[in-house]
Amino acid sequence: MARRVHPRPPRASRIRTPRFLERPGIWFNQHLQTLIETLGRLRANPVPSTMTVAVIGISLALPAALYVLSENLRAMAGGWDQTAAISLFLDLEIDDRKAADLAERLRAWEEVARVNLITRDQALAEFRDLGGFEDALDKITKNPLPNVLAVYPTPEHAEPERLAAVQERLLDLPEADFARMDTLWLQRLQAILDLVQVVALLLGGLLGIGVLLIVGNTIRLEILNRRIEIEIMELVGATAAFIRRPFLYTGAWYGLLGGLTAWFLVTLAILVLQGYVSRLASLYHSEFRLAGLGFVDTGSMLGAGMLLGLIGSRLAVNHHLQGAKPA
Amino acid sequence: MIRFQNVFKRYPERGEALSAIDFEIQTGEMVFLTGHSGAGKSTLLRLIGLLERPSRGQVLVNGRNLGTLPRREIPQHRRQVGMIFQDHRLLPDRTIFDNVALPLVVTGVHPKEIGRRVRAALDQVGLLKRERATPMALSGGEQQRVGIARALVGRPPVLLADEPTGNLDPDLSREIFELFERFKYVGVTLLIATHDFSLVSDLRHRTLTLDEGRLTRDTGAW
Ligand SMILES: Nc1ncnc2c1ncn2[C@@H]1O[C@H](COP(=O)(O)OP(=O)(O)OP(=O)(O)O)[C@@H](O)[C@H]1O
Ligand SMILES: [Mg+2]
């Protein structure tokens, strides 16, 4: 037993509740310490932590994947918007020169942004390139295809009704045979995309609630597991905030790790699909590639995960940590 | 420093555990609390530590009425009152060091300072060499001394001890009481519940005796 160490005089006023402004260093230290400690605790119980993180990850990945899908379809549709031109098929007797003259006249129209002449020879060549028609084409001696003008309207005239008016005006031209406008399927696609996004939103909302419940339940179990420790900490003067802090951090970790898992899952899915998509796109002479989660998307996904984890743990903590007894 | 005014504590299942308790302990006093098992010693200490509230009457610590202490100030109060529990109340999955450090950790003491003070406290109870052990690996008496070190480490102005030497041999008990006396001389107020009558009579400190929840004897200051 030590006789050399003498007790120091007590100083009743020494100990105060830590407050950020009073002792910022301590405040920061405590938070940093909790941050590291809670992560260490997750690593110490890898199985339940991993399960929770995985469930959160999948819950976040589903709506995120739908979102990515709809964004990609939109981008694809955006690419087609450019070709959402009116294809004006000219009478067969209009030759290349007359067609070029007409194209020049159309370029002066205010409704028209751009005009492309696809000559009958070009069209035929393209046909050959596509393959599968060689036999049929070999039997043809005379090119049966008309000259076509691809008329691109200005953005102001790109909506369906205005476009219809442009189509009318083009059809009134003496050189015109018929005009084809592919807007209906675009409208349908637009509606489908809107639907997909609403579904993603609803699913996100539902699964978000699910994440809250999962985190809440995991934290609840942890609070129950650590009842004795909590009680003892209260006995030696821990504040309610001090006791809550590690649980809130744990919830935030779950959310963040869940968000990372979701990011990983979505990115993996895109990698797997990329090959198939580019093969499909090449069949359509398109360079289209799937876009992954961008910086902002990734950030908001991680942020959303963390926020959900924090709210979920907050709910559990509010419900199961009543603070030092007696009330 | 500690004042009881007509304090009653009633447990629904049992009836009065404490009845009409009145006494005052000055700052820097060292007081023994004796009485048969079930007399209400632990209950009285729990009221001071604000682990429970009296059914009637008032408990004042350092001039503050615990009955009107807002809940958020309970932690603050607990830091002023070091408690040594009859059943030790150690964390079984933490090292001795971590157990003793707990009061400092919750008040946000700097880690370096924590190390220094925890070792000083462990040294005072003769357990410096066991800081890396867990409570499971310690004997009952050693666990008790860890509990004592934890109560001392925050240097509280009031120290409550519930049978602090219940598991210790006479020599060790005497050393612990000598340690308590040193605290008394630096101004700490101590209230020690104990069955150790030989030590009580040897050491000649003020003694309060409880019988069936009533204060039957107060020797007054020596
Ligand atoms: N939480 C409780 N609920 C009901 N009765 C209780 C409670 N705590 C204590 N008691 C009763 O109050 C009486 C006093 O108990 P207390 O623990 O204060 O005795 P004690 O003097 O510390 O005894 P010991 O010397 O055996 O530790 C006992 O009869 C006990 O049964
Ligand atoms: Mg007792």
Handedness of CA B135, B138, B140, B141 (dihedral sign): negative
A204 near A52, Cβ under 8 Å? no
CA distance B108 to A53: 31
Asked if pLDDT for residue B213 goes beyond 90, the answer is: yes
Expressed in angstroms, the distance from the first to the final Cα of chain B is 17
Average pLDDT in chain A: 82
* Interval A306-327: pLDDT, tens: 999 999 999 999 988 876 666 5
Percent of chain A with pLDDT over 70: 85
Q: What is the rounded CA–CA span in Å between residue A115 and residue A109?
A: 10
State whether residue B88 is helix, strand or coil.
Answer: coil
Q: Which residues contact B27 (CB under 8 A, 6 or more apart)?
A: B1, B157, B187, B189
* Residue A20 confidence class, pLDDT cut points 50, 70, 90: low
- Distance between CA atoms of B165 and B178, rounded to whole angstroms? 12
Which pLDDT score is estimated for B123?
A: 94
Average pLDDT of the residues in B80-99:
93
Q: What average pLDDT does the segment A75-101 reach?
A: 78
Mean pLDDT of B116-140: 93
Under 8 Å CB pairs connecting chains A and B tally to 109
Nearest CA to ligand 1 atom 8: B43
For residue B14, is it within any domain? yes
Residue A21 corresponds to which tokens in the numbers above? 């402004």
Looking at residue B14, what DSSP letter applies? T
Residue whose Cα lies nearest atom 18 of ligand 1: it is B40
Q: In angstroms, rounded to a whole number, what is the distance separating the alpha carbons of residues B128 and A79?
A: 75
Mutate to test the interface with B, among A4, A11, A14, A15 (most CBs of B within 10 A): A15
Residue B87 CA to residue B162 CA, distance in Å, equals 9
Cis bond upstream, residue A326 (ω within 30): yes
Take residue A69 and report the two structure tokens written for it.
Answer: 């899908």
At A298-309, the pLDDT tens digits run: 999 999 999 999
Mean local confidence (pLDDT), B73-77: 92
Residue B164, in any domain of the structure: yes
Task: State the Cα–Cα distance between residues B75 and B79, nearest whole angstrom.
Answer: 6
What's the total number of domains in chain B? 1
CA-to-CA distance for A112 and A157, rounded, in angstroms?
8
Collapsing DSSP states into helix, strand and coil, what is residue A6? coil
Cα A167 to Cα A182: distance, rounded to the nearest angstrom:
11
Q: Rounded to whole angstroms, how far apart are CA atoms A86 and A76?
A: 19
Domains and CATH numbers, chain A: 31-78+188-319 (no CATH), 86-181 (3.30.70.3040)
Contact call for residues A117 and A87 (beta carbons, < 8 A): no
CB contact under 8 A, A229 and B91: yes
pLDDT of A2 over the 60 cut = no
In a domain, B134, yes or no: no
Question: Three-class SS string for A43-68?
Answer: HHCHHHHHHHHHHHHHHHHHHHHHHH
Report CA A195 to chain centroid distance, whole Å.
15
Contacts of A255 (CB under 8 A, 6+ apart): A56, A211, A215, A305, A306, A307, A308, A309, A310, A312
User: What's the Cα-to-Cα distance from B69 to each of A19, A325, A326, B23, B49, rounded to whole Å?
Assistant: 20, 12, 11, 20, 12
In order of A261, A300, A308, B152, the CA distances from A207 in angstroms are 15, 16, 10, 50
On whether residue B140 sits in a domain, the answer given is no
Which residues of A lie inside 8 Å of B (Cβ-Cβ)? 1-2, 5-12, 14-18, 23, 26-27, 29-30, 228-229, 232-240, 242, 323-327
- Report yes or no on B67 lying in a domain: yes
Q: In sequence order, what are the beta bridge partners of B209?
A: B34, B217
What's the rounded Cα separation, in Å, for the pair A178 and A172? 10
Residue B167 placed within a domain: yes
Cβ neighbours, 10 Å, residue A69: 19
Residue B55: Cβ within 10 Å count: 15
pLDDT of residue A5: 46
Q: Output the domain CATH number for residue B31.
A: 3.40.50.300
Please check whether residue B138 is in contact with residue B88, taking contact to mean a CB–CB distance below 8 angstroms: no
Q: Which residue among A8, A27, A235 sits closest to B78, beta carbon to beta carbon? A: A235
- Structural domain including B83 reads 2-89+156-218
Give the number of the ligand closest to the Cα of residue B46.
1
Given a cut of 60, whether residue A4 has pLDDT beyond it is no
B109 part of a folded domain = no
Task: Judge whether B154 and B126 are in contact, CB under 8 Å.
Answer: no
Q: Which residues of B touch A9 (CB under 8 A)?
A: 186-187
Q: What percent of chain B has pLDDT over 90?
A: 74
Quote the percentage of chain B above a pLDDT of 70. Answer: 100
Q: Is B73 a member of any domain?
A: yes
Q: Give the residue ranges of DSSP H helices in A91-226.
A: 96-107, 120-130, 134-139, 160-171, 184-225
Q: What is the pLDDT of residue B216?
A: 94
What residues in A contact B74, CB-CB < 8 Å?
323-324
pLDDT at res. A278: 84
